[in-house]
Chain A
Amino acid sequence: MNAAVNSGAEGFLHRFDGLRARLPGTRMPWVQALREDAATRFRSAGFPTRRVEAWKYTDLRPVSDAGFDEALSILGDSADLPAPLCDRRAVFVDGRFREDASTLGSAEFAVDGLAQRLPQLEGRLGSLARPQEEPLVALNTMLFEDGLVVTVPAGVAGGLLELASFASGSERPAAFHPRHLIRLEAGASLTIVESARGPAETRYLHNPVFEIEVAEGATLTHTRVQQEGAKAFQLGTIYARVEAGGTYDNFTLNAGGRLVRNEIHVTLAGPRATCHMNGAQLLRHGQHADTTTFLDHAAPDCASRQTYKTVLSGKSRGVFQGKIHVHQVAQRTDGYQMNQALLLSPDAEIDSKPQLEIYADDVKCSHGATVGALDAEQLFYLRARGIPEEAARSMLVQAFLAEAIEGVADATSRAALEAAVSGWWEPAA
C-alpha cells in the first residue's frame, strides 16, 4: 500500500476516498451527488493559485503544503469554555455540533445540528453555495460533516443566538468543513453572534461555508468575532440571498489566525433589500487576512454599505477586494464601499482592490480607500497630556476602529467586538 498522502489537494481527495462510506448522508443519493460533483471539481481545480484573479493577493501554499488529519472533536471540560454571550448558544468543536455543550433552551424556532437533520435538507443544502466556482467551497461540500441549521418562522423575532466554534487542543493538525444553513422566513428577525477560537500552538484548518436565506422583510444581523489560534487557517465563504425589503447585516472582526480569508457573496434579490457589510482586521506579526466581498445588486431600489478598516503591524499583510455588480434591472441602486487601513509598521502591507461593474443607468455608487500611518500631531497631543507613547498609540488605534464598531447596533455584538479589540495591542517594533 502506498504511503498516505496527507497534504495538498491530493491529501483531501485521499481523505474523501477513505471517508466516503462514513460521511453523513452516505445513503442519500442527493448528498452523494453533491459530494461527488464537488470532488470532481476540486480534483480538477485544486487549491487556487495566485494566478487566479480572485486570489492574486492571497497565497494558499501555506495551507496546501501543510498536512491535515481528520478532526477528533475532543471537547475538554465544557466548563472551561468561555461564558456564553447570550441565553442560547450552539457549540461546535472541530466543526461538529456538540449538543451536550450547547444551551439551546426552548424558543419559537429550532436550532439543530446539520448531520442529524440531513434527511430534511434536500434542495436546501447547496441551494446558494457555488462549489463549481469556488474550490474551497467544493472542498467544504466534499467533506462537510456537520453544521448549524436554523429556521426562523415567518414573523418570529428570534432574538439572539451565539454560534461558538472551537478547535480542539489535539496534537493532530485537524481540518474541518462545517456547513451552516440559516433561513429567516418572511418578516422574521435574528441576531447571530459568531465566535471562532482555537489553541495557539495547534495548526488547523477551519473551512466553513454559510448559506443564508433572508426572506421578504426579514432581518438578519450576523456578527463574527474571528480569534482563531495563531497557527490556524480560516478560509470561510458566506453566501447570502436577501429578498424584497429584507436586510442582511454582517460585521466581521478578523483578529486571529495565521492566514485568513473572509469571502462574502451577497445577492440583493428583491426590491428595497439592504445589506451592510462592515468589518475590522487587526493584524500583527506575519498574519495575513483577506476580506473579499461580492455584492450583487439584482433588483431595483436596493442599498448596500460596506466599510472595512484594517490595522496592520509587524510584517502583517491585509487584503481587501470588494466587487459591486449592479445588474441592468437594478435601477436606483445606492451602493457605497470604503476601505481604510492604518499601517503601524513599515514592513506591513495592504492591498486593496475595489471593483464596480454597473449595467443600470440610474445608480448612485461610490467607493474609496485610504491608507495612512498614525497621525504624529495627534500622538504628540496625547503624549503632551502625559499619556505614554504606547498607550497613546493604542488609543488612536482604538479610535480608528471605534467608528466601525460604534455602528454595530446590537449591544451584545458590540460588547463582544469591543472585548476582542481592547485586548489587541502590541508594542511598537
Chain B
Amino acid sequence: MLKIEGLTAEVEGKPILKGIDLEVPDGEIHAIMGPNGSGKSTLSYVLAGRDGYEVTGGTAHFNGVDLLGLEPEERAAIGVFLAFQYPVELPGVGNANFLRTALNAQRRARGEGELDAMQFLKAARARLKELQMSEEMLKRGVNVGFSGGEKKRNEVLQMALLRPKLAILDETDSGLDIDALKIVADGVNALRAPEFSSLVITHYQRLLDYIVPDRVHVLMAGRIVKSGGPELAKELEATGYASVQAAA
C-alpha cells in the first residue's frame, strides 16, 4: 500500500525528516509514536502534499504510484486521507456543502458518478448516526465553533464518507473523551479491509487498545529509531522515550 524510502524533508530550510523508511502493507494498521517535535505531523503533511514541506530526497509510493509527484487533490482522489492534528476552520463554508463537494470531486476524478443532494444526505446521515454526531453539524460552517473533540469527530466523519484506502490519523485521539475515543476507533475499525491501511499517529497507548496495530514505530528527531509489535507501545508507556534513545 505505502512504501517510503529514504525520505528527507525540510521546512523553511530546516531539515525535519532525516531519512524515513517505512512500509505499510495492504490491510495493516501501523502506529507512529514519538516525542513532540520529532516530525510526525511533518511526515503526514509531506504525504498529503502540503506546500512548504519540501522533499529533499527519497521516495514515497502508494500502490506503486509516485505519491510525491501528485497534487494534494490527486492524492486524495486515489485514496489518501489525512485526518489533521489541528482541523482547519472554514467560516462561510457549510459543512454539508464541503463534504458533498469533496466527495463528488473525488468521484469525478475517478470517473465515478456524482451523488445528488438527496443521495448525499442519505449517506451523510447514516455516517453521522454511526459516529453519534448530531445532524446539526452538517448545517454549521466547517469546524467553526466546534469543540476540540467535535473537530476530531468531524475528521472521522469525513473519513467515513470519503472511504480512503490509506488513512493517516494525526493525533485524532488527542482531546477526545473516553466515549468519543471508542467511537473514533469504531470508525477506523469499520473501514478495516484487505485493501485498507492506516497510519495512526498517537501519543497514547489507550487508542491502540481499541485500534490494535500490526506494527508500532518510534519516530525521533526525524528518523524511525525503533519498530515492533503492539507490545512496543505498552513498553513506551512504561519507560518513556529516553530508554529508546539510549538504545538507539
In this assembly, does A386 line the interface, its C-beta being within 8 Å of a C-beta of chain B? Answer: yes
Nearest opposing residue in chain A for B75, CB measure:
A384
Nearest opposing residue in chain A for B72, CB measure:
A383
**Looking at the complex, which one of A378, A384, A385, A392 makes contact with B49 (CB distance below 8 Å)?**
A384
0/1 string, B46-76, CB within 8 A of A gives 1? 0011111000000000000000000111011
A sample of 27 cross-chain residue pairs with beta-carbon separation below 8 angstroms, ordered by A number, consists of: A376-B51, A378-B88, A378-B90, A380-B51, A380-B72, A380-B88, A381-B87, A381-B90, A382-B90, A383-B49, A384-B50, A384-B73, A384-B75, A384-B84, A385-B106, A385-B158, A386-B73, A386-B105, A386-B109, A386-B162, A387-B73, A387-B101, A388-B71, A391-B101, A391-B105, A395-B93, A401-B92
**Looking at the complex, which one of A387, A392, A403 makes contact with B91 (CB distance below 8 Å)?**
A403
Min Cβ gap B155→A in Å is: 10
Min Cβ gap B137→A in Å is: 16
Min Cβ gap B117→A in Å is: 16
Contacts of B158 in A (CB 8 A): 385
Task: Tell me if A399 and B162 are in contact (CB < 8 A).
Answer: no
In this assembly, does A398 line the interface, its C-beta being within 8 Å of a C-beta of chain B? Answer: yes
Contacts of A395 in B (CB 8 A): 93, 98, 101
Min Cβ gap A186→B in Å is: 38
Task: Tell me if A388 and B50 are in contact (CB < 8 A).
Answer: no
Task: Tell me if A399 and B73 are in contact (CB < 8 A).
Answer: no
Q: Compute how far the CA of A383 lies from the CA of B90 in the bound complex, rounded to whole angstroms.
A: 13
Q: Compute how far the CA of A377 lies from the CA of B91 in the bound complex, rounded to whole angstroms.
A: 13
Q: Considering the complex, which residues of chain A in the window 394-412 have a beta carbon less than 8 Å from any beta carbon of chain B? A: 395-396, 398-403
Task: Tell me if A381 and B73 are in contact (CB < 8 A).
Answer: no
Nearest opposing residue in chain B for A403, CB measure:
B92
Contacts of A392 in B (CB 8 A): 73
Q: Compute how far the CA of A73 lies from the CA of B103 in the bound complex, rounded to whole angstroms.
A: 49
In this assembly, does A69 line the interface, its C-beta being within 8 Å of a C-beta of chain B? Answer: no
Q: Given contacts A386-B77, A386-B162, A387-B73, is CB(A381)–CB(B88) below 8 Å?
A: yes
Task: Tell me if A377 and B93 are in contact (CB < 8 A).
Answer: no
Q: Compute how far the CA of A381 lies from the CA of B71 in the bound complex, rounded to whole angstroms.
A: 13
What bracket does the count of chain B residues touching chain A fall in? 20 to 34
Count: A-B pairs, CB below 8 Å: 76
What 10 pairs across the A-B complex have the smallest Cβ distances? Answer: A399-B92, A386-B76, A385-B102, A386-B106, A402-B92, A383-B72, A381-B88, A399-B93, A386-B105, A383-B73
Q: Considering the complex, which residues of chain B in the window 95-154 have a beta carbon less than 8 Å from any beta carbon of chain A? A: 98, 101-103, 105-106, 109
In this assembly, does B82 line the interface, its C-beta being within 8 Å of a C-beta of chain A? Answer: yes
Min Cβ gap B54→A in Å is: 14
In this assembly, does A418 line the interface, its C-beta being within 8 Å of a C-beta of chain B? Answer: no
In this assembly, does A389 line the interface, its C-beta being within 8 Å of a C-beta of chain B? Answer: yes
Most buried by A among B71, B72, B87, B90: B72
Q: Compute how far the CA of A138 lies from the CA of B67 in the bound complex, rounded to whole angstroms.
A: 65
Contacts of A402 in B (CB 8 A): 92-93
Min Cβ gap A36→B in Å is: 52
Contacts of A391 in B (CB 8 A): 101, 105
**Looking at the complex, which one of B71, B92, B93, B98 makes contact with A383 (CB distance below 8 Å)?**
B71
Q: Compute how far the CA of A244 lies from the CA of B190 in the bound complex, rounded to whole angstroms.
A: 64
Beyond A382-B98, A384-B75, A399-B92, 14 extra complex contacts between A and B, CB < 8 Å: A378-B90, A382-B102, A383-B72, A383-B76, A384-B73, A385-B158, A386-B77, A386-B102, A388-B71, A389-B73, A395-B93, A395-B98, A398-B92, A398-B93
Task: Tell me if B72 and A399 are in contact (CB < 8 A).
Answer: no
Q: Compute how far the CA of A383 lies from the CA of B74 in the bound complex, rounded to whole angstroms.
A: 9
Contacts of B52 in A (CB 8 A): 376
Contacts of A398 in B (CB 8 A): 92-93
Contacts of B101 in A (CB 8 A): 387, 391, 395
Task: Tell me if B90 and A399 are in contact (CB < 8 A).
Answer: yes
0/1 string, A268-293, CB within 8 A of B gives 1? 00000000000000000000000000
Nearest opposing residue in chain B for A390, CB measure:
B73
Q: Compute how far the CA of A72 lies from the CA of B109 in the bound complex, rounded to whole angstroms.
A: 51
Min Cβ gap A422→B in Å is: 12
Most buried by A among B82, B84, B92, B103: B92
Min Cβ gap A235→B in Å is: 31
Most buried by B among A386, A389, A395: A386
Q: Compute how far the CA of A383 lies from the CA of B91 in the bound complex, rounded to whole angstroms.
A: 16
Contacts of B72 in A (CB 8 A): 380, 383-384
Most buried by A among B75, B101, B106, B158: B101
Contacts of A396 in B (CB 8 A): 90, 93
Most buried by B among A385, A389, A399: A385
Q: Compute how far the CA of A396 lies from the CA of B49 in the bound complex, rounded to whole angstroms.
A: 19
Q: Compute how far the CA of A376 lies from the CA of B109 in the bound complex, rounded to whole angstroms.
A: 23
Nearest opposing residue in chain A for B86, CB measure:
A377
Contacts of A400 in B (CB 8 A): 92
Q: Compute how far the CA of A395 lies from the CA of B93 in the bound complex, rounded to whole angstroms.
A: 7
Q: Compute how far the CA of A66 lies from the CA of B235 in the bound complex, rounded to whole angstroms.
A: 81
Contacts of A387 in B (CB 8 A): 73, 101-102, 105
Task: Tell me if A384 and B48 are in contact (CB < 8 A).
Answer: yes
Contacts of B91 in A (CB 8 A): 399, 403
Nearest opposing residue in chain B for A377, CB measure:
B88
Nearest opposing residue in chain A for B92, CB measure:
A399
Q: Compute how far the CA of A114 lies from the CA of B210 in the bound complex, rounded to whole angstroms.
A: 77
Q: Compute how far the CA of A384 lies from the CA of B50 in the bound complex, rounded to whole angstroms.
A: 8
